[in-house]
Amino acid sequence: MQYKRILLKLSGEALMGTRQYGIDPERLAEYAQEIKTVIEKGIEVAIVIGGGNIFRGVAGASKGMDRVQADNMGMLATVINGLALQSALENAEVQTRLQTAIEINSVAEPFIRRRAIRHLEKGRVVIFGGGTGNPYFTTDSAAVLRAIEIKADIILKGTRVDGIYTADPEKDKLATKFDFITFEDVLKKGLKVMDTTAFTLSHENELPIIVFDMNTPGNLLKVVTGEKIGTKVNL
C-alpha cells in the first residue's frame, strides 16, 4: 500500500448522484462500498464531507442573508451529509465515528484530535462534519486542516472529473490531463484544484493532493495502492 492514513474529501454535490438536490441513497451506498474495500486493506480512512448539495453560504449571502448565518447553515448541511454517510457505512458493516467542529453532542462526538487518531488506529472511519467550525471557510480548507492535524499521508479529492486538466474538460475538448504537477505550477498556470486558502495550507505543510474520479468503481483502491489514477499535486 502506498499510503497508511488517508483523508478523503467528498463534495456535497457528489452525494446528489443524478439528482439536482439532496442525497442519493444509491450513490451513498456505492461510496460506502468503495470505502469498505480500502478499510479492508488496513488503510486508515478519515473523511471530510461538503454540504453544497444542501446549502452554500455564498449562495445564501447573495440573496441577502447574513453571511455568517448562511455559513452556519452550510456547516450544518455538512453534518447532515456526515450522518447520511455514517449510516451508509454502517449498513456496509464498516465501523465509523462522526466528529463535528460545531458541537452537537447528542448527535455526534465533538472534534478531538487525539480521539480521532485513536479511532483511526482502531480501524474506524472517522467522518469530520461541520467544516472548520468557522464561517468564511470551505470544506476543502477543513479537509486540509484535518489532514494535517491527524498527520494523514495524503488528501484524496474525489470528484466527477478524473484529474487536473490544462482547462475545464467539461468545456474545452482540447484540454489535456496532468498525471503529476507541482504546487507552484498549479499557481503559475492559474489552475483550480481547491480554493486558495485550502491550497496554500496544503502547500505550506507539504501535504500532497490527488484529484481523482470517485465515481468509477475501484478507483479509490487503485489510488491508495499507488496506481497512477488522477493527478497528483506535490512539491
Residues that bind ligand UDP (CB under 6 A): 11-13, 50-52, 56-58, 71, 74-75, 77-78, 131-132, 134-135, 137-139, 141-142
The minimum distance between CB 127 and ligand UDP, in angstroms, equals 14
133 annotated ligand-binding residue: yes
9 annotated ligand-binding residue: yes
CA 203 to chain centroid, in Å, comes to 17
Residue nearest to ligand UDP (CB): 50
176 annotated ligand-binding residue: no
The minimum distance between CB 13 and ligand UDP, in angstroms, equals 5
Contacts for 164-170: CB closer than 8 Å, 24+ residues apart: 164/191, 164/193, 164/211, 164/231, 164/233, 166/191
User: Is the torsion defined by CA of 182, 183, 186, 189 positive or negative?
Assistant: negative
- Closest to ligand UDP by CB, 43 vs 49, is 49
3 annotated ligand-binding residue: no
- Closest to ligand UDP by CB, 104 vs 182, is 104
**SS3 call for 233:** strand
In the block, cell 467550525 appears at 133
Find residue 156's DSSP bridge partners: 8, 210
The minimum distance between CB 226 and ligand UDP, in angstroms, equals 26
Which residue numbers belong to the known binding site for UMP?
Answer: 51, 71, 132-139
